[in-house]
Copies of this chain bind each other. A is one copy, B any other.
Amino acid sequence: MSSDGKSGLQLRSLFKKSGELEISLASVPTPEPGPDEVVVRVEGAPINPSDLGLLIGPADMSTAKVSGTKETPVVTAKVPEAAMKAMAARLDESMPVGNEGAGVVIRTGSSDAAKALMGKTVAVIGGAMYGQYRTLRVNECLPLPDGTTAAEGASCFVNPLTALGMTETMRREGHKALVHTAAASNLGQMLNKICIKDGIPLVNIVRSKEQADILHRIGAKYVVDSTAATFMDDLTNALVETGATIAFDAIGGGKLAGQILTCMENAANKTAKVYSRYGSSVHKQVYIYGGLDPRPVELNRAFGMAWGVGGWLLFPFLMKIGPADGAKLRARVVAELKTTFASHYTKVVSLQEALQLENIAAYGKRATGEKFLINPNKA
């Protein structure tokens, strides 16, 4: 590892044909910046749920072992045979990980735009951010306001844009209020701040009293607990009050998506004037954007015919709205980085620490409130 940034460690995830996952740290040269490029010394990159799919995938981490050296540890774990089919396209290809992060520009290309970034702290969504250095195009870098640290700017994209993508999708598809599950998450708290600020009614679904308390403390008005005996009634009442007909669901498996549609249908029928044999004509939509519960989705279809359930992902959403509207969302994130879009981390780890089994166990369980930041240049 050269301190001049000419090369550095990069985290790699590799699924082998033999049925094994290998996570390691590779020493890679830093590409020299072209005229319109810069080299960023990465100082913060969050471990988001969306990174875990690439990092760990379906590997059984209860079988994980560590070998290698202290400086370059290697983690290996078995992959269940049934899960190997879905890995076909990435087998035996060592992949860098880390969707987003932030760091300081330490070297630049010859263009004025590149030179202007020298010494600046920038946020990036470029992939391969779990590494010490990244060479990036100027237009991939989002310069952060002076006084912003890399840790503060590390989560500028995935959670903030996902939360904004939810309210944008709500508006574009003609709904006036929304429902969110796993609502006490980092993302869920952010969504509450957005909705409070923008005056959008938001129904939060949580799984415990503690999670409800977190949301009430930040000013959430509608919080219902899916473990309560009165859940269906509580949710229906909140839907009647808010008129929410779109939900974003991070849970995925089980009955929750169908329960939300059923309560939306019951709420719509409470105000219906005439009988419709196919149920309410109000379109009810649930977008599943996560998979905290790996069981199948179970829909009992007690909600008429005007309904949809589907996958939702940030990148296809950004493609759909186009670069101009995407830039508006990013500008809002930067403007409200220390308020609406502030992220909180449980722990800041080095690349080596990110490969320690107790840390993998902690961030791998995707628990509400547990969020790790990797600082690849942590001393």
Residues on A close to B: CB < 8 A? 53-54, 86, 88-90, 93, 95, 252-253, 258, 269, 272, 274-279, 281, 288-289, 291, 296-302, 304-313, 316
Contact = CB atoms under 8 A, between A and B. Distances in A.
5 contacts: A89-B276, A95-B275, A297-B298, A308-B310, A309-B309
A250 B203 CA distance: 33
Enumerate the 3 nearest inter-chain pairs by beta-carbon distance, A residue then B residue, closest first.
A308-B310, A305-B311, A90-B275
A301 to B, nearest CB: 6
Nearest to A255: B296
Contacts of A275: 89-90, 93, 95
Given A252-B301, A281-B316, A306-B316, 11 more contacts: A89-B272, A89-B274, A90-B277, A297-B299, A297-B300, A299-B309, A305-B311, A305-B312, A306-B313, A308-B310, A310-B310
Nearest to A291: B301
A298 to B, nearest CB: 5
Q: Which of A253, A274, A311 has the most CB of B within 10 A?
A: A311
A58 to B, nearest CB: 11
A313 B89 contact: no
A308 B308 contact: yes
Given A54-B277, A88-B269, A269-B88, A311 B307 contact: yes
Nearest to A309: B309
Nearest to A315: B278
Contact of A309 (B252, B253, B310): B310
A304 B311 contact: yes
A182 to B, nearest CB: 16
Given A307-B310, A310-B309, A313-B278, A253 B301 contact: yes
Nearest to A91: B275
A281 B320 CA distance: 13
B311 A288 contact: no
Nearest to A88: B269
Contacts of A313: 278, 305-306
A296 B306 contact: no
A297 B272 CA distance: 26
Q: Which of A93, A253, A279, A305 has the most CB of B within 10 A?
A: A305
Contacts of A281: 316
Given A89-B269, A308-B310, A298 B298 contact: yes
A274 to B, nearest CB: 7
A317 to B, nearest CB: 11
Contacts of A252: 301
A81 to B, nearest CB: 15
Contacts of A296: 258, 298-301
Contacts of A298: 296-299
